[in-house]
Amino acid sequence: MCVFRECAGTYNGEVSGNEPLKLRRPRHRLERRALGWWSVQAFVVALPPVAVLALLTALIPPARTWLGLSLGIVAAVGLAYVLAMPIWRYRVHRWETTDDAVYAVSGWFWQRARIAPMARIQTVDTTSGPIQRMFRLAGLVVTTASAAGPVRIQGLDRQVAADLAESLAARAQAMPGDGQ
């Protein structure tokens, strides 16, 4: 499988000789516009607690000191989240497809690498929420029979996601195995 360090030989737990297989990072980064999408998502998460604390600080004079301190802490954490999370996630998230598999790495603190063999693919879907559509992005959901759930690749260009879904569905259909 070409998601491994080498593509020579067949998969038998070794590449060539006695070297064990080693995973490498997938080749493709997500669309750079995913940074904007994640920033908007982070802002939508961080804004409500800051707004509520600001309103309470303004409306409850006896508690201004404590509410103001809470507002400052929540605002600082929210700002750090809005600034750091998109960049961090962009550095981690990657994807790749080969003739044999779909491979995705995602996460923030808890990073997850998933490989779905073509023969195990059951469905391929594209997803696009309202904020994703603003940035002309879409996601790909590759469902297999795995109990671990689908392989998700979020933050692809809309056309790339559509083309990839079509290509994966055709390749999975042509593969003998569980997907048929």
**Residues 74-83: tens digit of each pLDDT:** 999 999 999 9
Q: Pull the structure tokens for residue 118.
A: 């073509």
DSSP reduced 3-state for 24: coil
DSSP reduced 3-state for 81: helix
**Res 149: pLDDT:** 86
Query: How far, in Å, CA of 92 to CA of 100, rounded?
Result: 23
**Res 56: pLDDT:** 96
pTM: 0.78
Where do the H-state alpha helices sit in the chain? 34-59, 64-92, 130-134, 158-174
Write out pLDDT tens, residues 162-174.
999 999 989 888 8
Q: Facing residues of 151 across strands?
A: 142
Query: How far, in Å, CA of 172 to CA of 180, rounded?
Result: 8
List CB contacts of 63: < 8 A, sequence separation 6 or more: 56, 57
